[in-house]
Structure 1
Amino acid sequence: MTTGLLRRLEPAELEGVLAHELSHVRHKDVAVITIASFLGVLAGLVVRFAFYSQVFGGGRRDQNTAAVFAAVLGVSAAVYAISFLLIRALSRYRELAADRAAALLTGRPSALAAALTKVSGEIARIPSEDLRTAQAFNAFYFTPATGREPGVERFFSTHPSLEQRLEQLGRISAELGEAAAPGKAG
């Protein structure tokens, strides 16, 4: 909890944010993502090792060795790229699951929706130059430290779009019989 969140959010909104984060803890999301990332990390290390061995290894290689080397490098690079995209998709899914768990736990999906809207709106107003150092820490926030995600960028995001999150919370709100979430017509 930061003092900024404490100042900006109402108690029900803070409860929704805490329920979201506790859902990540309860469902061991950090461990899940870490385990799921293993193959991609391993492939990335193979690519890096191959690159550095080629640059610093020196020595002469025959044609068969070069073909095997190129094949290993190509497969490892492909595994890394596919793993990268799949981990991002898994992370977006886990974020939506944490939103759903928080909404059901608190019984007030509209409070979490209001918190997401407030925080996302304020983050979008921060200049992008100031956010470059925050990008590595996106995994530690319940909303990403970026603005809108047009086009292909959504595949590289660790969090679903605000619109997608609000839409899901609106459906949960309807299921629970709660008043419509902010920004949704009831």
Structure 2
Amino acid sequence: MTNQLKTAAMLAALSGLLIAISYWIIGGTSGLIIGIGLAGVTNLLSWYQSDKIALAVYNAQPVSQGEAPGLYRMVQRLSDRANIPMPKVYIVPSQGANAFATGRDPEHAAVAVTEGILNILPDDELEGVIAHELTHIINRDTLTQAVAATVAGAISFLAQMVSYSLWFGGGSRDDNRGGNPLGVLLTVMLAPVAATIIQLAISRTREFSADAGSAKLTGNPRALARALQRLEASARQMPLNANPAYEPLLIINSISGQFMGNLFSSHPATEARVAALLKLEQKLPTKVY
């Protein structure tokens, strides 16, 4: 519940930031109305189109049971165990080893894995990864991340448009609000950074929960721990490149590096996730089939 409250607060902060930026940059009542409208549109877009957008970003291709029987059976078995409808299954044509889930709820969900992850993970570790993604679906994290990505993208887009207007002669202001050019400039520079930090913080709060859900679903926390270590090593050599706004959907950071520590990381440190999983191992049955 604590993580859910944190996530709700950070999503509210993102929408509030979008409204505040619009109010500050455009000014007065007009800016407030436009900001509320933008927040509403981006949230609706995320609700109805989140799965299609994420799958398109990674060029994920749908697969049938005949095309990937082992993967299909694994997703079906774990979905039955979790008591949720089986999500659609996709494969991303990339040798970068990664996976993600998307969709607004368990009835409209998809799980995607890369060709690379199928090549490097043994079945027990792949099962841990799939269970992790199914937990994201169960917890509605897929919708949360989609909303965060879309709102953060809208903030960056708005800031970019204002920066263009400043370069090419400035913009109009509402008649009941003056506006400080320096304040507008700072808003344009700092708002996207603040939005990104909030978005990534949302992602980090959900990963530990999904790891724990995977451990409970498979009864094998150590397999997921090994998978995370293997995936992190692989990502250093062959990252999965795509729109950075959708990086938090992935099970592991697709780009290596520790710029400014964890502030700009979409996931908790792999070492911390592994330690938490091994701690769970002491409390769970050895394996559930």
Q: TM-score range by the shorter chain?
A: 0.7 to 0.9
State the Cα distance separating 1:107 from its structure 2 match. Answer: 1.1
1:156 aligns with 2:268: no
State the Cα distance separating 1:170 from its structure 2 match. Answer: 1.1
Q: What SS does the aligned partner of 1:175 have? A: coil
Partner of 1:102: 214
- Say which is worse superposed, 151-160 or 101-110, in terms of deviation: 151-160
Q: Is the 8 A contact 1:47 1:73 kept in 2?
A: no
Alpha-carbon deviations, 1:91-127, whole Å to 9, x = none?
A: 1121222111111111110111111122222333x1x
In structure 2, what is the Cα distance between the partners aligned to 1:3 and 1:36?
27
In structure 1, what is the Cα distance between the partners aligned to 2:141 and 2:261?
23
Q: CA RMSD in A?
A: 3.3
Q: Is the 8 A contact 1:46 1:73 kept in 2?
A: no
Q: Is the 8 A contact 1:37 1:83 kept in 2?
A: no
State the Cα distance separating 1:33 from its structure 2 match. Answer: 2.2
Gaps of 5+ in 2: 1-112
Question: Does 1 or 2 have the higher relative contact order (CA < 8 Å, sep 6+)?
Answer: 1
- For 2:268, give the aligned amino acid: P
1:82 aligns with 2:194: yes
- For 1:106, give the aligned amino acid: T
- For 1:101, give the aligned amino acid: G
In structure 2, what is the Cα distance between the partners aligned to 1:153 and 1:29?
24
Gaps of 5+ in 1: 180-186
TM-score normalised over the length of structure 1: 0.73
Percentage of identical aligned residues? 30
In structure 2, what is the Cα distance between the partners aligned to 1:45 and 1:113?
37
In structure 2, what is the Cα distance between the partners aligned to 1:25 and 1:39?
20
User: By percentage of residues, which structure has more strand?
Assistant: 2
Q: Is the 8 A contact 2:235 2:256 kept in 1?
A: yes
Partner of 1:183: none
1:144 corresponds to which of 226, 230, 253: 253
User: By percentage of residues, which structure has more helix?
Assistant: 1
1:173 corresponds to which of 278, 281, 285: 281
- For 1:158, give the aligned amino acid: S
- For 1:107, give the aligned amino acid: G
Q: What SS does the aligned partner of 2:268 have? A: coil
- Aligned residues between the structures: 172
Q: What are the equivalent positions in structure 2 for 1:1-186 lying under 5 Å apart?
A: 1-37=113-149, 40-57=152-169, 67-75=179-187, 77-124=189-236, 126=237, 131=239, 133=241, 136=244, 138-147=247-256, 149=258, 152-176=260-284, 178=286
